[in-house]
Amino acid sequence: MKLVIANRNYSSWSLRPWLLLTEFGIPFEEVLVPFGPTFDDPDWKRAISAFTPAGKVPALVDGDIRVWESLAIMDHVADLYPDLAIWPRDPVARAMARSISAEMHAGFQALRGACPMNLAWVHPTRDRGPKVAADVARISTIWREARERFGAGGPFLFGAFTAADAMFAPVTARFSGYGIVPDEISTAYCAAVQATQGFKSWRAGALAEPWIIAEDEVDEPVLTDFRPSLSRSRVSS
């Protein structure tokens, strides 16, 4: 099984199924096709089209089967490994896990647009407008409800790590990277996701990447730039 992804530092959609496969110890071969200088680079599009008709990452190639769209990939993997609780076993928890994952997949555009995933930077907290605030409020409500109703067995939304956590992993990076701290439950949950071996390994890979894409380097003060080669020129206080 091949999982096709793009730059670890920027590709939040790639992170989701990669983290799921990694946390569940499912063997896969990674194919990383780095973006060109921009996200719509035609050479990148051509290269990626060899794996997926949608021309986006992530994409999964499982023998003759091709799967694209992060949620479809997770469902395909859940079908392949029915013994693994990729979605929660309890039907009530599973219904919520699927609903919030679909909500994540389809929504939160204001947060995603204003705070693109960039694992290298930490920005100071600032007001990012009412639409971003509404997204943050909804996400923290989702996390609180899942943790309170289903989270007793561990630090993740449904206790043990599931596909829902993989879907929200890039949001935890956005919260940490843009100083978004809605409440204690969110802070603890972000820390739990980022303490997984999978997330740590993905982030270490991101910081080692040489590629910079200006579109997702938000032009505002930065508290910390963790990329060793860039820290001196970019950090401001």
Ligand X SMILES: N[C@@H](CCC(=O)N[C@@H](CS)C(=O)NCC(=O)O)C(=O)O
Q: Which residues bind ligand X (CB under 6 A)?
A: 6, 11-14, 39-40, 55-58, 69-70, 105
Peptide bond between residue 124 and the one before it cis (omega within 30 degrees of 0): no
The residue with its CB nearest to ligand X is 56
- In the bound state with ligand X, the residue whose beta carbon lies nearer, of 58 and 151, is 58
- Rounded to the nearest whole angstrom, what is the least distance from the CB of residue 177 to ligand X in the complex? 15
- In the bound state with ligand X, the residue whose beta carbon lies nearer, of 34 and 155, is 34
Contact assessment for residue 19 and residue 198, using Cβ atoms and an 8 Å cutoff: yes
Q: Tell me how many degrees the CA angle 62-165-211 measures, rounded to the nearest 5.
A: 70
- In the bound state with ligand X, the residue whose beta carbon lies nearer, of 71 and 84, is 71
Q: Rounded to 5 degrees, what are φ and ψ at 88?
A: -55, 145
Q: Which amino acid is at 154?
A: G
Q: Which amino acid is at 224?
A: T
Q: Rounded to 5 degrees, what are φ and ψ at 3?
A: -110, 120
- Rounded to the nearest whole angstrom, what is the least distance from the CB of residue 181 to ligand X in the complex? 25
- Rounded to the nearest whole angstrom, what is the least distance from the CB of residue 93 to ligand X in the complex? 22
- Rounded to the nearest whole angstrom, what is the least distance from the CB of residue 236 to ligand X in the complex? 27
d(CA 22, CA 17): 8
- Rounded to the nearest whole angstrom, what is the least distance from the CB of residue 212 to ligand X in the complex? 16
Chain-centroid distance of CA 207 in Å reads 15
d(CA 57, CA 70): 8
d(CA 7, CA 4): 11
- In the bound state with ligand X, the residue whose beta carbon lies nearer, of 38 and 236, is 38
- In the bound state with ligand X, the residue whose beta carbon lies nearer, of 159 and 213, is 213
- Rounded to the nearest whole angstrom, what is the least distance from the CB of residue 5 to ligand X in the complex? 9
Contact assessment for residue 32 and residue 5, using Cβ atoms and an 8 Å cutoff: yes
Residue 64: count other Cβ atoms within 10 Å of its Cβ. Answer: 5
- In the bound state with ligand X, the residue whose beta carbon lies nearer, of 40 and 183, is 40
- Rounded to the nearest whole angstrom, what is the least distance from the CB of residue 135 to ligand X in the complex? 17
Q: In 3D, which of 179, 168, 170, 167 has the Cα closest to residue 121? A: 179
- In the bound state with ligand X, the residue whose beta carbon lies nearer, of 17 and 88, is 17
